[in-house]
């Protein structure tokens, strides 16, 4: 399971949890403007917008999971198992392999308006990266500071949905996820009033009772409602520290602890990492299951005119701040 969310204070923030039972070996990867992307079916792109995100690197190629570009567009791929279907190659369209989708969009779009234009000509195709790294069944959230969309490639074609709540999890398809929010419109951060029966004396005996009924389990539809409720009600100061901290708290509402979601005998899904992109400033923040300290990589500290990928290892291991030794 995975969850993605957007958040706006003074700057625009975008991030995700990546939940799985093992890591593919991830790094924070910057592809500067002159790193050549060799797209399988549409040829080479020698220069483009710079990109930073979490990726698995194979054959000197960044297989991004989530990323943003220097122009303020961000996107993430989340599992969509059993529903994602990629097309065969077609003439007169831009055939982009599933693993190329993030670089294709982020290398050339400076806004969601441009993303929508590019998506009119795209065909997401079923070309695998390699035998060892076959197709991943994903859907995507793409955002700038003004709007978000969800992209789902299914057996009946490519769907592009407005995503007015700015969150995404996994199955079922996005329209069903949005529809179920109707069931929770009574939820509120305020204390409830007794509308049950005026002749009964009912007591709001605990704080937080306006949220009674918010689903607490780890299923993707429950996480969708929970992170949506948390995100739309979350209040933060405008400073970078307050905003980043609040963003991690929002995704903390759907954090997965080892042992609570068994995926095979003795194998458990956990939140391997949580990311928070300051999309306005190009800073990639993250923490991991084993390291709660927030680490960051700022793309603008690097030479973004380079033609070589720049990689930073994910820092693991808890760093505990002893106060008396």
Ligand X SMILES: C[C@H](CCC(=O)NCCS(=O)(=O)O)[C@H]1CC[C@H]2[C@@H]3[C@H](O)C[C@@H]4C[C@H](O)CC[C@]4(C)[C@H]3C[C@H](O)[C@]12C
Question: Is 78 an interacting residue with respect to ligand X (CB under 6 A)?
Answer: yes
Q: Which positions from 237 to 276 touch ligand X by CB under 6 A, shown as an x/- string? A: ----------------------------------------
Scan residues 204-223 and list those touching ligand X (CB under 6 A).
Answer: 220
Exposure of 275 by Cβ count < 10 A (0-12 exposed, 13-18 middle, 19+ buried)?
buried
288 belongs to the binding site for ligand X (CB under 6 A) = no
Q: Helix/strand/coil (H, E, C) string of 109-173?
A: CCCHHHHHHHHCCEEEECCCCCCCCCCCCEEEEEECCCCEEEEEEECCEEEEEECCCCEECCCCC
Q: In terms of C-beta density within 10 A (0-12 exposed, 13-18 middle, 19 or more buried), how is residue 148 classed? A: buried
Return d(Cα 291, Cα 26) in angstroms, integer: 15
- Binding status of residue 129 toward ligand X by CB under 6 A: yes
Identify which of residues 138 and 304 has a Cβ nearer to ligand X in the complex.
138
CB 101 to ligand X: min, Å: 8
Per rule CB under 6 A, is residue 39 in the interface with ligand X? Answer: no
Under rule CB under 6 A, residue 152 binds ligand X = no
Please, what is the minimum distance in Å from the beta carbon of residue 19 to ligand X?
A: 5
Our finding on whether 81 is near ligand X (CB under 6 A) is yes
Instruction: Count the neighbouring beta carbons within 10 Å of the beta carbon of residue 272.
Output: 21
2 is a site residue for ligand X (CB under 6 A): yes
Site residues (CB under 6 A) for ligand X? 1-2, 18-20, 24, 56, 63, 65, 77-79, 81, 99, 129, 133, 135-136, 138, 170, 220
Catalytically active residues, by annotation: 2
């Amino acid at each position: 399971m995975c969850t993605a969310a957007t958040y706006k204070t003074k700057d625009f923030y975008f991030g995700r949890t990546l939940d799985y039972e093992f890591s593919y070996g991830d790094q924070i990867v910057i592809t500067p403007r002159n790193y050549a992307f060799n797209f399988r079916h549409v040829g080479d792109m020698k220069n483009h917008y710079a990109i930073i995100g979490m990726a698995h690197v194979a054959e000197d190629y960044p297989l991004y999971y989530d990323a943003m570009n220097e122009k303020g567009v961000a996107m993430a791929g989340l599992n969509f198992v059993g529903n994602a279907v990629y097309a065969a190659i077609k003439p007169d369209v831009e055939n982009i392999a599933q693993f190329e989708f993030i670089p294709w969009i982020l290398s050339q779009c400076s806004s969601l308006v441009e993303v929508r234009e590019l998506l009119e000509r795209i065909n997401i195709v079923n070309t695998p990266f390699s035998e060892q790294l076959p197709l991943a069944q994903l859907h995507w959230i793409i955002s700038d500071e003004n709007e978000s969309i969800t992209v789902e490639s299914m057996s009946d074609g490519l769907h592009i949905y407005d995503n007015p709540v700015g969150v995404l999890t996994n199955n079922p398809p996005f329209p069903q996820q949005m529809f179920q929010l109707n069931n929770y419109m009574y939820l509120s951060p305020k204390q409830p009033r007794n509308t049950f029966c005026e002749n009964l004396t009912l007591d709001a005996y605990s704080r937080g009772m306006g949220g009674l009924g918010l689903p607490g389990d780890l299923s993707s539809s429950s996480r969708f409602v929970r992170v949506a409720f948390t995100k739309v009600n979350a209040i933060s100061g405008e400073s970078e520290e307050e905003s980043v901290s609040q963003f991690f708290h929002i995704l903390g509402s759907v954090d997965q602890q080892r042992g609570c979601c068994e995926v095979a005998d003795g194998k458990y899904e956990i939140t391997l990492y949580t990311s928070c992109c300051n999309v306005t400033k190009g800073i990639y923040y993250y923490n991991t299951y084993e390291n709660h300290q927030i680490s960051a990589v700022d793309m603008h500290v690097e030479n973004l005119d380079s033609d070589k990928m720049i990689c930073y290892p994910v820092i693991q291991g808890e760093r505990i701040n002893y106060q008396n030794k």
